[in-house]
Amino acid sequence: MRYPLDFENSFEKTFLFWLCRFVRNKITNLSNRQVSDKDRLAQIIQELVVGFESIESLKKTMKEVRNIGINSIHVYYLPLEKLFYFMKDFGASSMKEIDEEILSDFLASQTASLSDATKKNYRIALLGFFGYIDKQNEEENGTAYRYGIELKNWGGLAGKSGTKLPSFLNKDEVAKFIKAIADYPFKNKNIGARNRLIIKTILYTGIRVGEAITIHKKDFIKDGEAYIIQVRGKGNKPRVVMIKEKIIKEDLSDWLDICNCEENLLFCNQKGTKLTQSYISRLVEQILLSVGLRKEKNGAHMLRHTFATLLYQNSHDLILVQESLGHSDINTSRIYTHFDKSQLSRTTDIF
C-alpha cells in the first residue's frame, strides 16, 4: 500500500510516519540470526505499522530492537533521528522542503567531527530513507513525488588520501604473539582453553570477531587433518574457512569437555551466554602488551588484518584474500597490496 508524501498538515507527524515504516522495512531485511526474543520483535514490527506518537518513544523502541539482537538498526535510525531534529529546528512544514542541498547542509553540520566510516553510514541512511519514500509514496490522483537523492557531490569525506592503512603484525611479531598465547596466565585451565581456541581461530582464519563469537558447535566440521568452519559474515552471507587440526586440537578438546553454552554456541562465558566483542579485544590487547607488542590498534580486529596481509604476501592472490575474508567487493581487499615488500622492493631498482 502507498501513502501521500505529506498528510495531517504536520511535518513532524509525517516524518515520524515515514521513519517508522522505513525502520520496519530495515528490521525485516536485516539479519535476525542473533535475535533473542522473536516474539517481542514481531510485536515491535506491528507497533511500527501502527506508528508512534513521538520520536522519543520510537527512540526507546529502537534501543530495545538493538538489545534484542538487530544491532545494526542504529546505523539507519540514528542519522534519521538527527535529521528529524535538524528539520524541526529549520521550521519545516512539508516533506517537500527537503532536498539535496539541505541534506548536504545537514551532513556538513552534523558529521564534521565523525570518522569517514560514520559519515558514509549517514549517507547510506539518507539514501535508503529517501529512496524508500520515492517508491512508497503516491497521491490520490496516482502521481508520486520523487526526491532522487544522490549526494554524489557531498565533500565531507576525506577520500582515499584521508584513510589509514590498517595495523597488523609482521611475521616475527606473529611468532612472538603465538608464543604469548600459549604462555599467558589465564585464570584457570578451562578459561585458558576457550580463550586460546577463539584467538587462534581468528588469527589463523581471518574471520571477524563478531563471526567467531556466533560460531555453533555444528559449524566446526572435521575434514582430514583440518577443520572446516562455517561462518556467517556481514549481511548473513555464509562462507567457509579452514584451520589445521594440530593448531587447536588440545584446546578444542579441553574446551568441549566442559563447554555448556546456550543455543549450542561453541564459545560462551561462565554463565553460558555469548561472549562480547569487547571482551575478546581486551583479551588480545592484554596478551600483546604482555610481550611488549604495541600497535596503533591492539584489538582483536587487528588479527584479521594480520591474516589478510600475510596471506597476500605469501600468495599474491587478491581473489583468495577476498574470498577468505568474505569481502563482497574486491576493492576492499586491495588495501593489503600496500604491504607487499617484494613488489615495493622493485621500486628501489628504478635508478
Summary mean pLDDT of the chain: 87
- Three-state DSSP state, 220: strand
Percent of the chain with pLDDT over 70: 92
Arithmetic mean of pLDDT, 267-291: 90
The span from the CA of 332 to the CA of 335, in Å, is 7
Average pLDDT of span 313-336: 84
Q: What pLDDT, on a 0 to 100 scale, did the predictor assign at position 254?
A: 94
Selecting among 77, 301, 305, 312, the annotated active-site residue is: 301
40 is catalytic: no
pLDDT band of 100, cuts 50, 70, 90: confident
Q: Are 186 and 192 in contact (CB under 8 A)?
A: yes
The pLDDT of 264-282, averaged and rounded, is 89
Q: Which fold has domain 171-339?
A: hpI Integrase; Chain A (1.10.443)
Per the annotation, the verdict on 327 as an active-site residue is yes
Identify whether 216 is a catalytic site residue: no
304 is catalytic: yes
Residue 251 is predicted with a pLDDT of: 94
Domain ranges of the chain: 11-162, 171-339
DSSP 3-state assignment of 265? strand
Res 276: pLDDT: 85
Identified catalytic residue from 234, 237, 244, 338: 234
Specify the length of the chain in residues. Answer: 351
Beta-bridge mates of residue 228: 221, 242
The pLDDT of residue 162 is 46
* From 123, 196, 200, 208, active-site residue: 208
C-alpha to C-alpha distances, 13 to 19, 45, 54, 95, 350, nearest whole angstrom: 10, 19, 8, 10, 66
Could you read off the pLDDT of 160-207 as tens digits, one per residue? 444 556 788 889 999 999 999 999 999 888 899 999 999 999 999 999
Angle, vertex CA 114, rays to CA 111 and CA 120, nearest 5: 75
In this prediction, residues 79-105 reach a mean pLDDT of 90
User: What is the average pLDDT across 342-347?
Assistant: 62
Least confident of 43-57, 71-85, 285-299, 335-349: 335-349
Q: Which residue has the cell 562462507?
A: 239
Please pick, among 26, 194, 304, 305, the residue that the annotation labels catalytic.
304
What's the number of CA atoms in the CB half-sphere (13 Å) around residue 225? Answer: 2
Taking residues 279-295, what's their average pLDDT?
A: 90
- Most confident of the following: 124-133, 138-147, 336-345: 124-133
Which of the given ranges, 79-88, 229-238, 335-344, has the highest pLDDT on average?
79-88
Among 196, 200, 305, 327, which one carries the catalytic annotation?
327
Radius of gyration of the CA atoms of the chain, in A? 24
So what's the pLDDT on residue 179? 95
Nearest alpha carbon to residue 299 among 287, 312, 313: 287
